[in-house]
Structure 1
Amino acid sequence: MWFAFGFISLAGFTIYSLFKRLNGAPKGKLYRTSGIPYGNNIVKNKYGHAVKLCVFVEGQSGYDYILKNETLIDRFFKIIGLSVEHQTGNKEFDDRIYIVSDNKKVLKQLSSNNTIADSVIRIFDAALMNSFKVKRIRHQSGRLWVDLRPKIKFEDDQFRKLSYEIATLLNTISSEHGKTPLPAKERWKDPFNIRAMIILAISTGLAINGLVQFVRLKITDYPVIIDADKLLQDAIYVGSGITIVILASALVLLGRSARAHIVMFEVLIIGSLGAIATSYAELRDINIEFDKARPDLYEVKIVGRYLQEHKRIRSRGGFFFKTASDNVKRFYHMIQVEDWNNIDTSRSFKVSKQYYDLAEVGDKLIVSQKPGKLNYRWVENLRTADSSDT
């Protein structure tokens, strides 16, 4: 069951990621301030500090491009010829801004319209003067927006003034694009756009699925894999192979486009971890679910019992970062038994509180171990003398 669930969830997360990438424009109403229509979104961390900010205006249909700071990495991959970026002829713009688009009509507009180029540079300068960093300017799905990151703590009034200044410039860019409108289907004229989205959707799908599988295995007490190190090693091999295939696909499908190295970096950093985590879960589930062998039973003695502190981790959504207010300590109930596979060593298992309270050092347990379809030995359950599972 879990084996099939892994593939179904991976497909679902990949499709969801592709949908979000195709429709990634910020949501929200536009409000008028001194005659300028715009909206903004602020994402705060658990301490109430803003970590992501977005200013958006109405854009034009058919446009789909990204403008970002050109980095040394961008320049390196342009020099070796992996990525090819359009040059507008405006030296300051070309030196500072990296255009993520291969749509010839869009690139022609960026080259021929000095008002757009000037407005883009002024957005980056305004953010910098207010200790913000522009992550990107994005035009997609009929909206034009700027994603910002604060470098230092800022006042609300400071952000309002910056938002208004950026919104004014964004509206200028949108108006200039509106003078030569593109049909809505023009986004598909970029030969590399949908290819990049599909590859990134697969990469993100692997990452999300890997995270979900990690949480599932983390909260599951049984079955227990005995040969976990061997399983992890094989998962790294399989996950690395999947990553290489995706990277090779990106190279073939996106080579000499503006997106090539950007997509490959995301696959290498995010997709690889997801591929390894997904591979680990799938190999584990295949090993258990397709193992039809009879279990070997071992009688072992309890040699210790202890409490292991459970450090809860959360984010704003419920996971991954320990909360400052979470002062209540929680514990796993652990018993330590003789290792039936290795003489003079022991092995620990998490058990229920009910069993932990009844267990005593010296008590005997029955371990039900199976060989595994893929030869990763695993423990089906622990039983006391009366055959009740722990």
Structure 2
Amino acid sequence: MDERRMVWMLTAVIALLLVTVVITLVVALRWRRRQRAAMGRLGEAAGRSGDGEGSGELAGRRYRFALFPGGRNMPPSLTVALPVGSVRSLALRRERAFDRFFKAIGLAVEPQSGDPAFDRAVYLAFDDRPFARRWLADARVREAIRGLFAAGFTHLECDGEALRAVWRPFKAWEAVGAETVHGAVERLVSLAESLEREGPARVAPDSPWAGRLVAFGIAVGAVVAGTVSLVITAVRYVPLDWFDLWFTALAGALPLTLLFLLLCVPLLRGRANSHVEWSVAAGIALAGLPLAAVGGLGLLNGVMDEAQPRRVAVPLIHKHSVSGKGTSYYLTVASWRGDGEEELKVGGRLYGQLEPGRDRVRLLHHPGRFGLAWVSDVRLADE
């Protein structure tokens, strides 16, 4: 490639980068202006220039609101809250396809209001069924809840001290204003009054902790056991063929993982949030059980290996290090199992003593209890 073409290509790359930076800055500035304008309009709800939060009073009740612009791993949200004299805890949200699917297969069991249209639109993520039926029998309560969700809010929550309408993720930067807050407060006041008339919960809903302990105990235990056993394997029983270890272990872990996911259904089913808990347990297990299989197989392959090891000495062909959070050191040696080469991970001290093409490496070769060869006692052959 001649010098002139290189200059043109370099110029094009720099121009593309500059255009990308300018577009990014323009989008970010426009986004920031929209946020500031929305916060200013919300400030009218508090009777002052807004920073996105404030407080007020309606029907003798104090309320607060806050518009969170978003942050790392946190989407933007709008929250409107007012104190409530009820010790009940409850949560409602827009019903999603995720909820409908798990209700259809019987894993999640949601309280029902008796109003089919309401039950299709709103998911009751709490388990006090008698209270839900009684509270939602009032058409005004159902209308207030649906009104909040129709306005854009996605969650309705009560922790026993405050009733909150939450819009998350919040996207209506152009449309939000004081009327958004005032409309939400009016509905929250109506709902707070209805909750206060209901009073505290009469009977605590069943909470089947045993099933959850078993499901999450197995999933979390697999992560812990897998991590520990894999570290021991990597330090004490280093396999020569990591791919064979992973392939063999994962082939056995797949049916066990599927069996665990099925076992979790009867352990967790029957509650409004059973499908959420099942999804969390499944996510942990999908990482933990394969990890436990790999670490466990590698550990048992070494611990149970009773065969006599074979001492070999082979020439050092090459060495290299990989730097990241720490530095790892590797030796490439001639294979003693046939043609080709083997790669060994060693400590920094031995790595510094060895010179490719000059030194030989001595080690112990173990056949492995399950046919997965591993090595130990790697050192300079002359020692």
- TM-score by structure 2 length? 0.63
Cα gap change, 1:52 to 1:208, in 2 (>3 Å):
farther
Q: Distance in 1 between matches of 2:334 and 2:264?
A: 50
Secondary structure in 1 matching 2:198: coil
Alignment map for 1:1-390 (pairs within 5 Å): 33-34=55-56, 36=62, 48=72, 50-51=74-75, 60-61=86-87, 63=89, 65-81=90-106, 83-127=108-152, 134=154, 137-139=156-158, 149-150=168-169, 173-183=191-201, 186-187=203-204, 189-190=205-206, 194=209, 197-198=212-213, 201-202=216-217, 205-206=220-221, 209=224, 213=228, 217=231, 223-255=237-269, 258-291=272-305, 293-310=307-324, 332-341=328-337, 343-362=338-357, 363-387=359-383
Identity between Structure 1 and Structure 2 (%): 19
> Partner letter of residue 366 of structure 1?
R
Is residue 239–residue 279 contact of structure 1 (8 Å, CA) maintained in 2?
Answer: yes
Cα gap change, 1:293 to 1:273, in 2 (>3 Å):
same
Deviation for aligned residue 1:119:
4.2
> Partner letter of residue 206 of structure 2?
D
Q: Distance in 2 between matches of 1:207 and 1:333?
A: 29
Cα gap change, 1:222 to 1:267, in 2 (>3 Å):
same
Q: Distance in 1 between matches of 2:271 and 2:63?
A: 35
Cα gap change, 1:86 to 1:40, in 2 (>3 Å):
same
Q: Distance in 1 between matches of 2:179 and 2:342?
A: 61
> Partner letter of residue 356 of structure 2?
V
Is residue 69–residue 77 contact of structure 2 (8 Å, CA) maintained in 1?
Answer: yes
> Partner letter of residue 33 of structure 1?
S
Cα gap change, 1:333 to 1:249, in 2 (>3 Å):
closer
Q: Distance in 2 between matches of 1:253 and 1:38?
A: 40
Is residue 310–residue 364 contact of structure 2 (8 Å, CA) maintained in 1?
Answer: yes
Number of residue equivalences? 323
Which has the greater radius of gyration? Answer: 2
Q: 1:74-113, CA deviations, whole angstroms, 9 ceiling, x for partnerless residues?
A: 3344445554444313454322222234432232244224
Q: Distance in 2 between matches of 1:163 and 1:339?
A: 73
Deviation for aligned residue 1:275:
1.7
Q: Which has the higher contact order (CA 8 A, sep 6+)?
A: 1
Structure 1: any 5+ residue segments left out of the alignment?
A: 1-30, 129-133, 313-329
> Partner letter of residue 303 of structure 1?
I
> Partner letter of residue 360 of structure 1?
E
> Partner letter of residue 246 of structure 2?
L
Deviation for aligned residue 1:384:
0.9
Is residue 55–residue 63 contact of structure 2 (8 Å, CA) maintained in 1?
Answer: yes
> Partner letter of residue 383 of structure 1?
R
Secondary structure in 1 matching 2:355: coil
Secondary structure in 2 matching 1:150: coil
> Partner letter of residue 248 of structure 1?
L
Match of 1:326 in 2: none
Cα gap change, 1:174 to 1:206, in 2 (>3 Å):
farther
Is residue 329–residue 347 contact of structure 2 (8 Å, CA) maintained in 1?
Answer: yes
Is residue 210–residue 276 contact of structure 1 (8 Å, CA) maintained in 2?
Answer: no
Structure 2: any 5+ residue segments left out of the alignment?
A: 1-52
Secondary structure in 2 matching 1:67: strand
Q: Distance in 1 between matches of 2:66 and 2:253?
A: 39
Q: Distance in 2 between matches of 1:304 and 1:160?
A: 71
Is residue 226–residue 289 contact of structure 2 (8 Å, CA) maintained in 1?
Answer: no
